[in-house]
Structure 1
């Protein structure tokens, strides 16, 4: 039997637009703040870290980028507690203040050349503050929209929140591209990189204005009026097995797979184009931005479809398709953007062997073999290697030994003579094919990301929803997804295979698909006004009034 009409039932459709638009626009700006660092990772590596070599600077920059992801689960607990105890609106209002302030301060930081080791320390501290803030942002926005949405439109309404991560990333790419095109390379490297960070001050002011004007979630207000809010949301989320079980299943059966697909299809592919395939920075940025813009409408489409056929089948299918397609798609990108590299790798394969050739990441001393492999990795050149005790260092190109000295000049000359390009030739880039492949990656992202906000909101009861939703989402996206560029780059550095880093997202996505298929249940028919989890298999919720 239907309960009383929802609060605000007589309002115009503008109310829904204002709720979705207000939450989404604020989230978009916050994602911009977080991802503008990623768009400038290659530049920031040189600005804030010791000038040891290019590979170290890039790896250190990625590690600092990953630090922001590592603390996101802790932000989920802090802001989740605030959201469940004080209210949804105030939690995500605070997150945007912390995020915007931290981002602006990055643009004002002195460089390594100016203050030495204090520069990377301060940069990492601000990245940690950004990660903490983002740990509360997503849960607040998704729950706020879902708890205002009609039950049969929850997937569609929350899918607009899902587009903000991609659009925020795309906005960061476009702003960086605009700054690069407006300045000389020297000006951009010297001071122009600061502009995208400082611009967040304007975004912060607009976002705060928007969010102050929004009203608190009606479900939370009703729960608070009944005296049923949680006194200790963290304890109720983590210390009660019924709830903790769903947090773990949500993490391993949904968010981990969604996260690696998201970051492989948007972030890692940008690093791959720029640093491995040596596509010019502006060209790589425009290609990825085009793929993001073309693919983003599919996020809303799959959110809408999840209201009709369910969240689970769409997300599992997306995980499986991505796991099967990553390596072929990335190989296709290589052929489309740097065909000379493909031809050289086929006609003149490279092998490195000898005493001292071992795991580069675990060595304390630099060996001549490490220098060779670092130069190959820096050039995005695939190779195979073997450690042979007592044997001299041998580098072969198409079976022919290359003389090697400390300068590595002979190796550089041999690589060019064998057809290995220093950079991708812009004239040989097949732009339509590259954009089509990048859009395909974005469609995989849309399949797993479009329905997941509604899925997570429906999975947890109202009194601990903010904390319980935020934790698995940010464990998955902060740890499994956010560390993907660092892990993938390290695997490539170790193996010499430019595609070997993709095995990490492939394994995680396939594992999530299997766990989700067997252990997670459909949620799209559940009522949100629940104080506890449904009893039993949780296929459907017990009758409750939908607010």
Structure 2
């Protein structure tokens, strides 16, 4: 593509341009709201739809169902990207929001496992996949639509508003969940003590039908992109965008570079800084769920303006330095930041880990993979498996010492506890009576030893507005700012990498493979790594490794795009 000579950076934003940004962004906020409700409610959904599994496996399975929506996103990118390049941007992402909204509403109506059995999780996963397909066609359309309306020299600033939508959607989902939870809690006498976990979790999903109506109305009022209208009038639309995008090496190599050198690293930083941070607070550090939601929500408020700040800055100094800088900061600081979160949010846990390390001594030949999403307690019968399983279910961080022939013991401080060997009956679906008693006694003894060593069952309440509270907000806000660095400029950069005739298709696939597979699977992979390794920070190696690969490839092989003329060479 050619480099534009004129830069229209001083022209005020017109009313039409404001409408384009507002309409595209608002609709996309609602779509992200729908998508992230599930992730925010994963612990409750695990209890509602995966009750056939033990709690540890149920939670990992619920994350796998969450990940199912991400796995299919690239296929949605292919389907809707092709339509967007052939028939237009506007109507394509009108269809995507209808699919997303209706799927979310049905989740709110779906009977749970106790009501319809195994059909419940199967249908749930199917609905998640429909959401993923819809979202696969959404982002590329919205980003392309806004970028093609933006004047040259302002694409970073204009498209950065689209970049805020994922975070705003997450914020909106947290606020609706929190509001529903607090209302039902304050009126427990009327609705019941456990109303939110019993049925109140459905309310945020059902409310989405109202947001769907608003979004459809807004999108019906939008006009087609001027770049697409010009191309269509000139008869230059692509007849085979998939073949052009991925069958021609000159375009395919850019798709590959966009994935490995941009979106893969951006995605893991995005999900680490927002979703994994929330899961870490609530499920690892055992911070009260409402408090964790509020802390993350406040950090999103603090960090969200930086999407626009970095998007605008990228129009001046380039997209690449900001994105690569965000990756580098994440790589260098993730371990100290998450350790500081532990020390601040649950100081008793941090102190116990420092003074009374838990050591598991086992025979490696007896150890199974602890991160399996389909395994149950009865699938773990060796001393190694029972010891690790019990500690994982207690969210305990431990060190493993492998010794051939070791009987399997857990040492907490100075106390050493032998793990039992279990046997099963009834076709392997139930422990024998003696084994069940032995395991229960082992777990009780481990729990008492952990308590005596200072390990808390849950984090102490964090007073609102206290120094402790604000320190957590600062740490979470830093993580969000890393997100804004890697994500704020990337829509403009992806748009600028590809010609108009295949832009929707070409940019959507690397974006959704990066964010759907590398990013969307991040919480699942990280928690499986923690369950297997025993160290609560071990899961951070996944985003750090992916970000490091992207940093190297992006720095060496991806070219700066801010001065590209997106209308040239089409």
SS of the aligned residue for 1:384 comes to strand
| Equivalent in the alignment of 1:437 | 475
On the 8 A contact 1:107/1:197 being kept in 2, the answer is yes
Cα deviation per residue 1:135-158 (whole Å; 9 max; x = unaligned)? 010000001000001111110000
Mean Cα displacement is larger for which, 350-359 or 84-93? 350-359
1:413 aligned to 2:448?
yes
| Cα distance, 1:496–1:113 mapped onto 2, change above 3 Å | same
Q: Distance in 2 between matches of 1:302 and 1:427?
A: 32
Shift of residue 426 of structure 1? Answer: 1.0
On the 8 A contact 1:39/1:173 being kept in 2, the answer is yes
Shift of residue 387 of structure 1? Answer: 3.6
Of 254, 262, 282, 1:274 maps to: 282
| Equivalent in the alignment of 2:346 | 338
Cα deviation per residue 1:457-476 (whole Å; 9 max; x = unaligned)? 00000000000000000000
| Equivalent in the alignment of 1:157 | 158
On the 8 A contact 1:395/1:401 being kept in 2, the answer is yes
| Equivalent in the alignment of 1:295 | 303
Mean Cα displacement is larger for which, 374-383 or 292-301? 374-383
Cα deviation per residue 1:346-372 (whole Å; 9 max; x = unaligned)? 110011123324533478543343232
Q: Distance in 1 between matches of 2:309 and 2:553?
A: 25
| Counterpart mapping for 1:85-484 below 5 A | 85-184=86-185, 185-355=193-363, 356-361=366-371, 365-404=380-419, 405-407=438-440, 408-427=443-462, 430-484=468-522
Q: Which runs of 5+ in 2 are unaligned?
A: 186-192, 420-437
| Cα distance, 1:365–1:278 mapped onto 2, change above 3 Å | closer
1:509 aligned to 2:544?
no
Q: Distance in 2 between matches of 1:256 and 1:89?
A: 27
On the 8 A contact 1:326/1:502 being kept in 2, the answer is yes
Q: Distance in 2 between matches of 1:300 and 1:291?
A: 16
| Equivalent in the alignment of 1:540 | none
Cα deviation per residue 1:87-126 (whole Å; 9 max; x = unaligned)? 0001111100000000000000000000000000000000
On the 8 A contact 2:3/2:564 being kept in 1, the answer is no
Q: Distance in 1 between matches of 2:112 and 2:3?
A: 62
| Equivalent in the alignment of 2:78 | 77
Cα deviation per residue 1:315-348 (whole Å; 9 max; x = unaligned)? 0111111111111110010011000001000110
| Counterpart mapping for 1:466-545 below 5 A | 466-532=504-570
User: TM-score of the superposition, structure 1-length normalised?
Assistant: 0.94
On the 8 A contact 1:257/1:509 being kept in 2, the answer is yes
| Equivalent in the alignment of 1:539 | none
Q: Distance in 1 between matches of 2:418 and 2:158?
A: 63
Shift of residue 531 of structure 1? Answer: 4.3
Mean Cα displacement is larger for which, 523-532 or 65-74? 523-532
Mean Cα displacement is larger for which, 397-406 or 153-162? 397-406
Q: Distance in 2 between matches of 1:78 and 1:525?
A: 30
Q: Distance in 2 between matches of 1:76 and 1:219?
A: 20
RMSD of aligned C-alpha atoms? 1.9
On the 8 A contact 2:368/2:380 being kept in 1, the answer is no
Q: Distance in 1 between matches of 2:504 and 2:165?
A: 19
On the 8 A contact 2:147/2:495 being kept in 1, the answer is yes
Q: Distance in 2 between matches of 1:321 and 1:416?
A: 37
User: TM-score of the superposition, structure 2-length normalised?
Assistant: 0.90
